[in-house]
Structure 1
Amino acid sequence: MFVYRRRVAFSETDMAGIVHFANFFRYMEEAEHALFRSLDLPKIWHLPDGSVIGWPRVQVSCQYQSAAMFDDELEIRLNIDRVGGSSLTMSFEIYRGETRLAKGSMKTACIVRPLGESMRAVEMPVEYAEKLGAIENPREK
């Protein structure tokens, strides 16, 4: 499991100081980016021929259990559930102290977008598969 911590900014809340629901997806994405940085893997990889390898989301979900408030310190726990040939499935739990505020999941696809063309799914580069596979921890459904 990978753990990412952050504090709720005022700009992420409504007039009552409660975090807007859409920000939970941002928190999951921030944790994902922090994981990739910790593994020294670029999220966007520019190839010499002008092509780009990236990771668009193909499925996301979030179940809310309690509100997050302005200035709360959050802990986002990220688990790698599955490393597929061209996809990555992650689950997340967002905590304030010992209270779970939300749980979610995200599936991303490894794509290449050649210069001037549409993106298409491709096999995950070996370095990504090895590093992400080393921390894969499938959860029982």
Structure 2
Amino acid sequence: MKCVGYYLILLGVVLTGCGDGGKSAGGKAVVPVPGTVVAQAAMPVTGDSLNNFAFAVTVSADSLIESGVYAVRASYGFDTANGRFVMPKGLKTYEIVMKKGVAPYTYVVGFTTSADTTFNDYFEITGTRTSIDMHYLKAYTFE
């Protein structure tokens, strides 16, 4: 029974420490641990009635997160693609946000700042039957 108590305490500590994704804590930037998932989303692929495919995107902190690098993993059915993007220079406190794009099977990764909650679109991931495309949408500078 004692083990269950320790397990619950450990679980509570782990859950409260997850998901900071660059948010500020008392005005100070919090850098996520490499490998921490900061955004993820998925949608079913509706054009294929034979398979139960999905288009899924996961954004996580890269091993170079101190430089603002994030890793992107996208899958469309059995196809998988990996990529990276770098947050704008001079951006100190921000939160990574992912929204569904206008085009089919598209997600837009952006950010909000502590000073302004406006969604700033930054990086786009699009999946099709034949390819997965990742590219920057805009350039920002905060220096």
TM-score of the pair, normalised by structure 1: 0.32
- Identify the structure with the greater helix proportion: 1
- Identify the structure with the greater strand proportion: 2
TM-score of the pair, normalised by structure 2: 0.31
**Higher alpha-carbon Rg:** 2
